Structure 1
Amino acid sequence: MKDQIYITLAIIFQAMAGISGKYAAKTISPEYLFPLNILTNSFYLLSLFCMFLQAIVWQQALKHFPLSFAYPFMSLFNFIILIASAVLFAEGITIGNIIGLILISIGIVIISGELKKQTDFKG
C-alpha cells in the first residue's frame, strides 16, 4: 500500500509540469523564443524540474508495480489538469471533458481490479 505513493507523486509531478508549462507559455513573448530567454523563465525551469522528479518517482513506481497496472493510473493527472485549467487559467469545462473523465475512471477501475486478481504487484 505504501508503494502507491510513487504513482501518486508521479501523477502530481506530471500535472505540475503541465501547469508550469502553461504558465511558461503565457509568460514568454514570441519575440523572445531564443534558448537563453526560455531557459531563464522560472516557469519553464519549474516545468523541467517537475518532469525530472516525475521520471525519478515513476522509475520507483515501476520497481513495485507491473507497467500494465501503473501506467493507466497516469491518466489520473487529467483530473488535476482539468481543475487547474478552470481555476488558474479560466478555461471552460465541457460535458465532453466530464464524460471523458468518467470513462477514464471506469477504465482504471476495471484494469486495476483485473490486475489485482492476476498479480501480487511484485513485478
Structure 2
Amino acid sequence: MNHLYILLTILFTVYGQIIIKWQVQLAGAFPQNGTEKVNFIIKLLLNPWVMSSFVCAFLAALSWMAAMTKFPLSYAYPFMSLAFVLVMFLSALFFKEPVTIPKTIGLALIILGIVIGSKG
C-alpha cells in the first residue's frame, strides 16, 4: 500500500506533462511580440485542462510527501524515473513522437537502474 504513494506521484506527474504538451500544441506557436506572449500565457493559464495539470502537480507533491513518510529518499526517488518511461510511450501514442533505438536503450537502462536500486 505504501508504494501507492509513489505510483500516484508518478501518475499525477505524467498526467500533467501530457496535458500541458497537448494544450500547448493546440495553442500554436509561441508569439514573437511581448504583448502577444503575455496574452498567450494568460490564455493557457486560464485553460481548464492546464489548470487540471497544475492541480495534479499539487496532488503529486502531496503524494510525494506521503511517500517520504514511508520510504528513504534514496529508495523512493529512483522510481520517479518511471515518469520518463510513461511519458515516452504516451508521447508516441498521443503525439506520434518517434521511439528510437537510443531512446529504447536509455529507457531499458533506467528500468534496470530502478530494479537494481530498489534491491539495495
Same fold (TM over 0.5): yes
Which ranges of 4 or more aligned residues in structure 1 deviate by more than 2 Å? 27-36
Letter in 2 for 1:107: G
Letter matched to residue 25 of structure 2: K
1:37 aligns with 2:43: yes
Shift of 1:36: 2.9
Distance in 2, matches of 1:36 and 1:91, equals: 27
Q: Quick one: distance in 1 between partners of 2:45 and 2:92?
A: 27
- TM-score w.r.t. structure 1 length? 0.85
Question: What is the number of residues matched between the two proteins?
Answer: 113
**Residue in 2 aligned with 1:117?**
none
For 1:36 and 1:82, the matched residues in 2 are separated by 28
CA distance, structure 1, for counterparts of residue 103 and residue 48 of structure 2: 30
> Separation in 2 of the partners of 1:85 and 1:57?
24
Contact 1:23–1:43 (CA under 8 A) maintained in structure 2? no
1:21 is aligned to 20
**Residue number among 47, 63, 68 corresponding to 2:69 in the alignment:** 63
**Shift in Å, 1:38:** 2.1
| 1:72 matched to 2:71 | no
Runs of 5+ unmatched residues, structure 1 = 115-123
1:83 lines up with 2:89 in the alignment: yes
How much has 1:27 moved relative to structure 2? 2.2
What's the CA shift for 1:37?
1.3
Partner amino acid, structure 2, of 1:79: V
**Aligned-residue RMSD, C-alpha:** 1.3
Matching of residue 95 in structure 1 with residue 101 in structure 2: yes
User: Structure 1: how far apart are the matches of 2:74 and 2:24?
Assistant: 33
The alpha-carbon deviation at position 12 of structure 1 amounts to 0.5
Q: Match of 1:4?
A: 3
Give the match's secondary structure for 1:91.
Answer: coil
For the residue of structure 2 that corresponds to 1:65, the secondary structure is coil
**Matched letter for residue 75 of structure 2:** F
Query: Given the two structures, how large is their TM-score scaled by the length of structure 2?
Result: 0.87
Identical columns (%)? 38
